[in-house]
Amino acid sequence: MQRLPEPELMDDPAQARAYAHADFEDAHSAIVAHFRRVFEKHEAPHTMLDLGCGPADISIRFARLYPDCKIDAVDGAHFMLEQARTFTERAGLHHQITLHLQRLPDCELPEKCYQAIVSNSLLHHLHEPQDLWTTIRKYASPDTAIFICDLYRPQTLEQAEGLVSRYAADEPEILRRDFYNSLLAAFTPDEVEAQLSTAGLRGLKLEPISDRHLLVHGSIQGA
């Protein structure tokens, strides 16, 4: 099945609100658990960059896990960052998480490099996937913990429809449609491997972690 790109920015107010209030508890808890698993020998980071932070749920989870870590959270969608601002203030973490309205690969951030760079569900939105890998190279030191999670594209439309029915049956129609479109816009593991090769990041490890998610992790040093 060929990739069908979707808009890069989730900048429709209704769409942003629906996504921000969706139940991602299981998926996002698993993402944090995977980070702890693959970087169990690393020291707790004191600086972290979250690319495509959305409503900041992942940033909030990492801020609670690492209370001494300063997090720069980047998103290009104004309405999504409004949701993020509400949630970080409600969590009392606005002093720890700084939100940036910027787009890859042209973002300018306060740190020259970060001890950890994370991204969840950004890659499939990008029309040019190298924008993500270029930004990571720009802000990573040799031993930065790099942790990228995203959907991967199923082989058929029927498989995509089955995943929507399995995991989003009780969600509003706007979220069901977004999930379906995101599955069609996602890259296959082989395509992501090719992106890493082009970016000179072949040392990063890619592993499927569910029937719809893949994980890229490691360090530039390993690449």
122-165 residue pLDDT tens: 999 999 999 999 999 999 999 999 999 999 999 999 999 999 99
To the question of pTM greater than 0.85 for the whole model, the response is yes
Average pLDDT over residues 75-88: 94
* pLDDT surpasses 70 at 222: no
165-221 residue pLDDT tens: 999 998 889 989 999 999 999 999 999 999 999 999 978 999 999 999 999 999 987
Give the domain 13-156+182-218 fold: Rossmann fold (3.40.50)
What strands lie across the sheet with 140-151, from one edge to the other?
97-101, 70-75, 47-51, 114-120, 140-151, 213-218, 205-208
